Amino acid sequence: MSLVVVGLNHRTAAVDLLERMTVPPAGLPKALQSLAVREHLAEVVVLSTCNRSEVYVRTTRFHDGIDDIRHFLAECSGLDPDDLAEQLYTFHDDAAVAHLFGVAAGLDSMIIGEGEILGQVREAWQVAESEGTAGQLLSRTFRHALEVGKRARTETAISRHSVSIASAAVTLAGERLGSLEGRRVILLGAGDVSEGMAVALSGAGVGEIIVANRSAARGRDLAKRFSGRSIAIDEVVDTLVTSDVLLASTGAPGTLIERSDMEEVMRRRDGRALLVVDVAVPRDVDPGVGQVFGVTLLDIDDLKALGEASLQARRAEVGNVRVIINDELDRYRLDRSARELSPLVEQFRAKAESLRRAEVERLAPKLKDLSPEQRAAVEQVTSGIVNKLLHEPTVRLKDAAGTARGELYADALAELFALDESEADESDSSD
């Protein structure tokens, strides 16, 4: 069985493909169940954010399992599986683990070192656990990835000079307008990203924060925390007439602001320009809005340049984080190897014990005249011989766990004593 990840991210796919592949939070349970019933997938976790859509699985058959994932992603995107395959990356076993560790540490984010991804990794795993699709292997791997992410941020400065997507969006808006001081800003959405935007806007001295959200209660709560006001989604168009900036970041499955809406807004603004920053994936704002006279539309792609600029302050830390990832990958291998060896060692010792018992039973007619004490002594002596004989090989196997020598020992043990390694692997996967 193999641990595999198949997916795409902001480096390998354009925004329009990313948004077609996005699995919204509400659709995650259904997506997990759709994958879990496929023949060659034993465990599944789906990590879908504005920057990536990735499927982590334990496969029962490697190539067939990858095909199962590709067909699922093709169904999500509406593309032919063969056409989509060229856009996807695939990693397996150690490379898949290293990739997840890098994601959790923030090295694979558009804004290197940003903190949101760690929570997103945790949430993806927790949803999979609640749906029963994350078994022992993926749970151990994701739990370890969270440890790597925390260690990277604690022991290095990778996140100290970083900017989140939320703060990057506000910074970008401020650069385009010269200043956000005194501006009226509409936040479309009231989730974590919008909350981060509100924090950044408050620090930038905006005149008013207006929150529009599908859940009125959540919108009111966010607006109240920043001395703003909340409006209904259907009031956004009218409110844009007197606003300066729209920052959009909902998890809606489709566009909320159409080009025709914005054309109406601009007709009523008497020629005053309007800035729109849409960081939602899928997009909240119709791309055609950017063609409306007087509107400047920025999206997730426009944040990449800002992310590259902020990376310069943290480039030296990337190497330090990679050292941590390599160290943790070694620890992961050691733990995995020990788990794989334990069932093999148990099988080895069980076989030896079975042979000992069989021999004692075979000689039972010759031992029938022994007293109970003498019979117990025979059991003790024969068991002692077996245990002493197996002690040194067992210790050497465990000491070599996680190394090439350990794998060589395990293969030799299985071959010399006719042990079944597949049974040992199966035992580990179901513990």
Note whether residue 299 is domain-resident: yes
Query: pLDDT confidence of 85, banded at 50, 70, 90?
Result: confident
Backbone angles phi, psi at 162, to 5 degrees: -85, 165
Strands 2-9 and 52-59 turn out to be antiparallel
The reply to whether 272 falls in a domain is: yes
Choice among 4, 18, 42, 50 that is catalytic: 50
Q: Give the tokens for residue 254.
A: 């489709």
Same domain, 76 and 10: yes
Q: Output the domain CATH number for residue 91.
A: 3.30.460.30
* Inside any domain, residue 317: no
**Stretch 52-65: mean pLDDT, rounded?**
94
Which has the closest alpha carbon to 277: 159, 163, 175?
175
pLDDT value for 213: 94
Instruction: Tell me the average pLDDT across 397-404.
Output: 69
Judge if 22 and 153 occupy the same domain: yes
Q: Are residues 59 and 147 in the same domain?
A: yes
126 and 206 housed in the same domain? no
Is 324 within the bounds of a domain? no
pLDDT above 70 for 77: yes
Q: Please name every residue paired with 59 in a beta bridge, in sequence order, or none if there are none.
A: 2, 41
The yes-or-no verdict on residue 98 having pLDDT over 60 is yes
- 80 and 178 co-located in one domain: no
pLDDT score, position 325: 96
* pLDDT given at position 397: 79
pLDDT of 198 > 90? The answer is yes
Residue 281 sits in a domain whose CATH number is 3.40.50.720
The percent of residues above 90 in pLDDT, for the chain, comes to 52
> Do 28 and 55 fall within a single domain?
yes
Q: Are residues 121 and 253 in the same domain?
A: no
pLDDT band at 201 (very low <50, low <70, confident <90, very high): very high
Q: How confident is the model at residue 430 (pLDDT cuts 50, 70, 90)?
A: very low
Is the pLDDT reported for residue 197 higher than 90? yes
Judge if 31 and 154 occupy the same domain. Answer: yes
Q: How many structural domains are present in the chain?
A: 3
| Domain's final residue, options 272, 307, 342 | 307
Fill in the DSSP letter of residue 94.
H
The model's confidence at residue 431, banded by pLDDT at 50, 70 and 90, is: very low
Q: How confident is the model at residue 46 (pLDDT cuts 50, 70, 90)?
A: very high
> % helix / strand / coil in the chain, to the nearest 5?
60, 15, 25
In a domain, 221, yes or no: yes
Predicted confidence (pLDDT) at residue 144 exceeds the cutoff of 50: yes
Domain boundary among 128, 161, 194: 161
Mean pLDDT of the chain: 88
Q: What pLDDT is stored for residue 163 in this prediction? A: 67
CA-to-CA dists, residue 53 to 20, 50, 118, 325, angstroms: 10, 8, 15, 22
CA-based diameter of the chain, in Å? 113
Q: With bands split at pLDDT 50, 70 and 90, how would you rate the model's confidence at 395?
A: confident
Structure tokens at 365: 């007619």
Q: Which of 141, 161, 181 is a domain's end point?
A: 161
Is 79 a member of any domain?
yes
Question: Does residue 296 sit in the same domain as residue 170?
Answer: yes
State the average pLDDT over residues 144-157.
93
**Is the full-model pTM beyond 0.85?**
no
pLDDT digits (tens, 9 = 90+) for 274-296: 999 999 988 999 999 999 999 99
Q: Domain span at residue 133?
A: 2-161
Residues 137-157, mean pLDDT to the nearest whole number: 93
Residues 107 and 182 reside in one and the same domain: no
* Lowest-pLDDT choice from 202-216, 270-284, 295-309: 295-309
pLDDT at 300: 84
Question: What integer is the mean pLDDT of 381-387?
Answer: 90
47 domain-assigned? yes
Residue 308 has pLDDT above 80, yes or no: no
Over residues 262-279, the pLDDT tens digits come to 999 999 998 899 999 999
| b/e map 118-157, b = 16+ CB within 10 Å | bebbbebbebbeebebbbebbeebbebbbebbebbbeebe
For 25-39, the pLDDT digits (tens) are: 889 999 999 999 999
* 50 catalytic residue (yes or no): yes
Same domain for 342 and 291, yes or no, is no
The answer to whether residue 384 is domain-embedded is no
* Residues 6+ positions from 335 with CB-CB distance below 8 Å: 140, 402
Q: 136 and 175 in one domain?
A: no
